[in-house]
Amino acid sequence: MFAVDRRSFLGTSVRSLAAALAAGPQLLGHRSSAGTHDHPTTTSPDNLFLTWQRDPTTTMTVQWVGHNTSYAESVISFAPTTTAAWASVKPTVRPFPLTDLKLFRAELTGLTPGGEYRFQIGHNPTTYHFRTMPAKATDSLTFVSGGDCGVNPHTAAVNAIAARQDPWFAVIGGDIAYDNGTSAATMLGFLRNYHQHMVDSKGRLIPMLACIGNHEVVGGYNGLRSNAPFFFALFDGLFRDTSYATLDFGDYLSLVLLDTGHVSPIGGEQTDWLDKALRDRAGRPHVVVVNHVPAYPSYRPSDDTGSGNREHWVPLFERHEVDVVLEHHDHTFKRTHPMRGGHIDRDGIVYLGDGSWGQLRAPNSPESRPYLAASGQSYHVSLHRLEGEQRYHMALEESGRIVDVCTTHKRPRHRIPS
Ligand SMILES: [Fe+2]
């Protein structure tokens, strides 16, 4: 059973990669010739993207940055792809920090789980497409993750490889654009690339989730919320009161998005919150933690764990049987052995990373860093496939080459009572 599933995973992904490579440089350009995602017109925002503030099975949030005069009276009209049951919602309009631009946000609600939808802005003829997440994971489901992106040709190439996997969504684990809390132009550059590339093979926009990293914040660490103006402008629908949050997908997946000391200290309130958040989700098939600074670094010294997540969080991950932890910040590819209590343990937790969507460093080797099972110096994105209670993880280079494939096990039934 295992071998068949794994072969199927490899086969599917290799086929999509082959198509991506055959398409060549076209991947880095507009993908509108497919017909469903048209070329921008003069009033089509070039940085529009989708995200979630709450239930991904029944809502979708549309956001873009632009001049108020272009969209002041616009409403979003949306409908299932196969019917003309149109509904509409007026976007909220707020200042986009440090510019004279506005952030437009519209949450589409009352959607059907696992549904295919389309929407338009005002009278603009451009039609965008998306899908809602299913309520139950009756079929396999994939998403991509990575971190430390920026605005450069490598980021664009990894975007293209990510999109070609047809993921249901992407989660970026901090250091999104490298705006450093000061450069609106940098964040807008990242969003333009994301808008251009992160469209699946059926023309659907791929929603983006994110957690905060040091390059979102003036000074990197111990900042105020106001020191990360672009991150919170874009993502405060989910991070409404705190810089950490959970998002639950139907009855099958929970993402736990953490702040490794950039705005909120790791210890104290966030750790208390994490303990409860994980306890509340203990019975779910897939609990995935996403944070920026790694507990098990691949580049930085092994005792450099940021502001103490190995001390404060790892014991909670282990006690509550987190399934996998996605880490970033070190700009490498890495996979740890399953770890428990600081030792390799077959029932332990695998930490995947280490943030090289668009940034790169030379990692330590598994020989010199025993908790590492694999490491490499390659720009990459991780593809995760959930199938029942099984998880498959594939690391893909910007060229499309497969760097690594692994599985993570179901959580042991002998969970430690909390
Ligand atoms: Fe970082």
The CATH number of residue 105's host domain is 2.60.40.10
Ligand 1 centroid – CA 174 distance (Å):
7
Mark whether 95 and 204 lie in a shared domain.
no
Please tell me the distance between residue 285's alpha carbon and the centre of ligand 1 in angstroms.
29
Q: Is residue 10 part of a domain?
A: no
**Angle (nearest 5°) at CA 35 between 33 and 39:** 65
Strand, coil or helix: 33: helix
Q: How remote is the CA of residue 220 from the centroid of ligand 1, in Å? A: 8
> Do 202 and 163 share a structural domain?
yes
- Supply the CATH number for residue 260's domain: 3.60.21.10
Is 9 within a domain?
no
Host domain of residue 145: 137-408
For residue 411, the model assigns a pLDDT of 67
Q: Are 63 and 198 members of one domain?
A: no
Last residue of a domain, one of 78, 100, 131: 131
* 140 burial level (CB within 10 Å; 0-12, 13-18, 19+): middle
> Are 201 and 95 within one domain?
no
Number of domains into which the chain is organized: 2
What count of other Cβ atoms lies within 10 Å of the Cβ of residue 296? 26
Is 89 found in the same domain as 226? no
Residues 111 and 150 in one domain: no
CA–centroid distance, residue 306 to ligand 1 (Å): 10
For residue 51, how far is its CA from the centre of ligand 1 (angstroms)?
22
Both 209 and 250 in a single domain?
Answer: yes
pLDDT of 216 reads 98
Distance between Cα 215 and ligand 1 center (Å) = 6
- Taking CA atoms, 62 is separated from 51, 339, 373, in Å, by 7, 39, 39
Q: How far is the CA of 288 from the centre of ligand 1 (A)?
A: 20
Each residue's pLDDT tens digit, 154-200: 999 999 999 999 999 999 999 999 999 999 999 999 999 999 999 99
CA of 217 to the centre of ligand 1 (A): 10
User: Is the same domain home to 109 and 148?
Assistant: no
Q: Name 330's Cβ contacts closer than 8 Å, sequence gap at least 6.
A: 294, 297, 298, 299, 300, 353, 354, 355, 361, 363
25 domain-assigned: no
Query: What's the gap in Å between 231 CA and the centre of ligand 1?
Result: 14
In a domain, 310, yes or no: yes
Q: How far is the CA of 178 from the centre of ligand 1 (A)?
A: 9
Q: What is the pLDDT along the chain (418 residues), one digit of tens a residue?
A: 233 344 444 444 434 443 433 333 233 333 333 333 443 344 789 999 999 999 999 999 999 999 987 787 789 999 999 999 999 999 999 999 999 999 999 999 999 999 999 999 998 999 999 999 999 988 899 999 999 999 999 999 999 999 999 999 999 999 999 999 999 999 999 999 999 999 999 999 999 999 999 999 999 999 999 999 999 999 999 999 999 999 999 999 999 999 999 999 999 999 999 999 999 998 899 999 999 999 999 999 877 766 689 999 999 999 999 999 999 999 999 999 999 999 999 999 999 999 999 999 999 999 999 999 999 999 999 999 999 889 999 999 999 999 999 999 776 654 444 4
> Is residue 74 included in any domain, yes or no?
yes
CB contact set of 132 (below 8 Å; sequence gap of 6+): 56, 57, 58, 59, 60, 111, 112, 113, 114, 115, 117
Beta carbons of 313 and 271 less than 8 angstroms apart: yes
Give residue 29 CA to ligand 1 midpoint distance, Å: 28
Residue at which a domain ends, from 131, 158, 184: 131
Does 345 share its domain with 247?
yes
> From the CA of 104, how far away is ligand 1's center (Å)?
28
Measured in Å, residue 148 CA sits from the centre of ligand 1 at: 6
| Domain assignment of residue 92, yes or no | yes
**Domain end (from 100, 131, 162):** 131
Residues 179, 90 share a domain: no
Answer yes or no: do 284 and 357 share one domain. Answer: yes
Ligand 1 midpoint to CA 242 (Å) = 20
Distance from the alpha carbon of residue 364 to the mean position of ligand 1, in angstroms: 17
Q: How far is the CA of 262 from the centre of ligand 1 (A)?
A: 10
Indicate whether 197 belongs to any domain.
Answer: yes
93 CA distance to ligand 1 centroid (A)? 30
| Residue 24 DSSP label | G
Task: Determine the pLDDT at residue 38.
Answer: 40
Residue 73 covered by a domain: yes
106 and 234 in a common domain: no
